[in-house]
Amino acid sequence: MSATSPPGAAAPRATPAVSRQGDAAVVTIEDLYKNFGSLEVLKGIDLAIAWGEKVAIIGPSGSGKSTLLRCVNYLEVPTRGHIYLEGELFGERLVDGRHVRMSERELASQRKHIGMIFQSFYLWPHLTARENVAIAPEKVFGLPRKAALELADTMLAKVHLAEKRDAFPERLSGGQQQRVAIARALAQEPKVILFDEPTSALDPELVGEVLKVIEELAAEGRSMMLVTHEIRFAQNVADRVVFIDHGVIVEQGPPAEVIRRPSHERTRSFLSQLLQDG
């Protein structure tokens, strides 16, 4: 359970919603560093996410959790280290033994396999919920409009918003907008979904509806990385909990161990304060 321990991934609890390809981890993070100027945010992260595994990433604000997720899909370019999707380099190509960053077009082709849910919803205000979900399948992936709209209907139903398909974002609550954002990510049919504090921008009474949808998706066997302060939710949903502090993995393992019986004093201090505040 230390930073140098093997990942020790738990077996998937259900058949992955996206077909597994070979035996490689769906995501592998290798010796990842990220600097912003002189500020070193990530300091050598090694982590592998198995097919169908749900990994919750916890830690104090400023510890590098969100930066880690943004590096996984190259919204932030790592300063050092590599990301692999199904064992293949992500965001880079090997050219004469050197790692060369991909073009934006090449990267876009890879990114379609990774869904990301942000703290903010980033919905197009002039499009209905249905159109917000359909636009990427139609415009980016080339799906015929009718098929894209049908796919949007299916995904909105999955997040319990079928009746809101013709509503514009301004007519939706924050929780409903976040569920539209989840439906939009699902429409990509991603191999892994990244959740970056998906409930942090919501009023407390709306948090539960979003967590319920995420829990249902987790039960389908989807591969997930979840940055969250919802510790009890992480305990119930995750196969593995990773505690990050000051840009390094301090501790990781099954939720029952990391959350209930943490082995590091820093983890104990963090959880004690968080659970007390909650």
- Given a cut of 50, whether residue 19 has pLDDT beyond it is no
Residue 273: the pLDDT is 81
Beta bridge partners of 99: 94
Tens of pLDDT along 21-50? Answer: 445 799 999 999 999 999 999 999 999 999
Is the pTM higher than 0.85? The answer reads yes
Please report the pLDDT score of residue 22 as a whole number: 47
pLDDT at 18 over 50: no
**Domain 27-113+190-277, CATH number (from 3.40.50.720, 3.40.50.1100, 2.120.10.30, 3.40.50.300):** 3.40.50.300
Q: Which residue shows structure tokens 């499009």?
A: 127
* 64-96 residue pLDDT tens: 999 999 999 999 999 999 999 999 999 999 999
- Give residue-wise pLDDT tens across range 97-114: 999 999 998 998 899 999
Please provide residue 64's backbone torsions phi and psi, each rounded to the nearest 5 degrees: 110, 10
Q: Are 79 and 44 in contact (CB under 8 A)?
A: no
Given this model, what pLDDT does residue 9 score?
39
Domain ranges within the chain, ordered by starting residue: 27-113+190-277
| Strands annotated E in 91-178 | 92-95, 98-101, 114-117
Task: Read off the pLDDT of residues 121-143 as tens digits, 9 standing for 90 and up.
Answer: 999 999 999 999 999 999 888 99
Instruction: Give the torsion sign (CA, 46, 193, 201, 241).
Output: negative
65: Cα separation from own chain's centroid: 11
Length of the chain, please? 278
DSSP state of 10: P
* Higher-pLDDT residue of 11, 258: 258
The phi, psi pair for 58, rounded to 5°, reads -120, 165
Least confident of 65-74, 149-158, 228-237: 228-237
Residue 10 banded pLDDT, cuts 50, 70, 90: very low
